[in-house]
Structure 1
Amino acid sequence: MITLLITAALILLFLFIYTVGATVFIRIFGIGIYKRGTRENMIALTFDDGPDPMYTPHLLDLLEKHEVKATFFIVGSKARTYPHIVQEIHKRGHSLGIHNDSHRSNWLFSPFAFKKQLRHAQSTITNITGEPPLYYRPPWGHFNALTLYAVKPLQTIMWTAIPGDWKESVHPEKLANRLRKERKNGAIITLHDSGTTLGADERAPANTLKALELFLADEDSANYHFVNIHTMLHQPEKSEV
């Protein structure tokens, strides 16, 4: 009996370290992840969970209207359903990243299963756009102990702010105010262009679009360059003369 209890306790401890422990450690210490830029007057808007046929096309038009480049972390299975939207995202100069092949927590995957998820999503995006994705973001920000090793050479992108736009009850003006508070040099802001994932409200992205219009149209936003993550990572620093 004691042996069984000890065995059960060790299994639970291993699972905790593999899932929650790994997530807390990585996110607190920032090991192997990128969550803030260093470029002055640059902000990266990022969008998770798409593509979505209802909202992503409108979002692309809104971004184009305000001359904004962004980054889309897309779900592989949705990309196969709506490849024309992925093509349009790529065509308009936005960065593409992987958000798993199915929107499931990495806590639920063995190392083998996670690698299979990753490869499937990678091949999907590459086949649609002709270019391999360079970036990765885990659903819900959940890591397991081997996530960062398995995704190499992809760069894992997290965030400096996540304003909570997945609930329809958040009024667009309130959401816009949250965005204004995060308008800082090097900010990486996570929003969502689909509301069909667990815990989200299906019509919540409509409020995200309205909030973005308010946020991008105000005077203070004109002082910033809204860039895709590739530009934020790789554009050289300006040298002083």
Structure 2
Amino acid sequence: MIALTFDDGPDPLYTPLLLDLLDQHGAKATFFLVGEKARAHPDIVRMIHKKGHTIGLHNDIHRSNWFFLPFAFKKQLIRAQTALKEITGELPLYYRPPWGHFNLFTLRDAKPLRIIMWTAIPGDWKEQVQPAVLAGKLLKERKSGAIITLHDSGTTFGADEHAPANTLKALEIFFADEGSTHYQFVTVDTLLQASRRSKQ
């Protein structure tokens, strides 16, 4: 099992295209959504949820936790949780901090959310990373239990707007590779449940 995860969305152009691609390959994924983007595109959030993917939080605004005071961090996290519950009817269970940045109170104030990091982050937020190169990185990281971080939006600081187009092409190559047929592409939730069962 491999968990593909996508940060920074939802995006009105690339997220629907990604959902179609995942459907074509029978893959499920986990989307760490930005609260303000979710409020701007609730129909896309509902589409992600309806298709059986897992939705997690990626802050209410895409800002590093290094720049939040404790009260402000908790407040914006609650705002994002509330928005996603209003849209999908379910409270998110998982959280990923933007850029993977923690501060002294991230672990404390994110509870009861479970923080999910990654085993691989191939750097797909720059257009200069061509699809074949990105696909090669994905193939290198293809192993059971992997949590791979990709991006379905390029509108955050430091990203290139149309970099997700390369991500989609790289995923097509990755899914088409014969070796990928031996893996299930599952949500983080499914991966964690399988890991717990294997330890019992």
TM-score normalized with structure 1 length: 0.81
199, 208, 215: which is aligned to 2:158?
199
Query: Which stretches in structure 1 are left out of the alignment for 5+ residues?
Result: 1-41
Shift of 1:238: 6.0
115, 125, 130: which is aligned to 1:166?
125
Residue by residue, what CA displacement relative to the aligned partner does 1:148-175 show, whole Å, maximum 9, x if unpaired? 1101111100000000000001110110
What are the within-5 Å matches in structure 2 for residues 1-241 of structure 1? 42-235=1-194, 237=197
Aligned residues: 198
Distance (Å, rounded) in 1 between the aligned partners of 2:143 and 2:177 = 15
Amino acid in structure 1 at the alignment position of 2:102: F
Structure whose alpha-carbon radius of gyration is higher: 1
Residue by residue, what CA displacement relative to the aligned partner does 1:109-151 show, whole Å, maximum 9, x if unpaired? 0000000010000000000000000000000000011101101
Runs of 4 or more above 2 Å deviation? 235-239
Shift of 1:185: 1.3
State the secondary structure of the residue aligned to 1:184: coil
Amino acid in structure 2 at the alignment position of 1:71: T
Distance (Å, rounded) in 1 between the aligned partners of 2:26 and 2:83 = 28
Distance (Å, rounded) in 2 between the aligned partners of 1:46 and 1:171 = 19
Distance (Å, rounded) in 2 between the aligned partners of 1:167 and 1:184 = 24
Query: Which stretches in structure 2 are left out of the alignment for 5+ residues?
Result: none
Shift of 1:237: 3.2
Identity %: 69
C-alpha RMSD of matched pairs (Å):
1.0
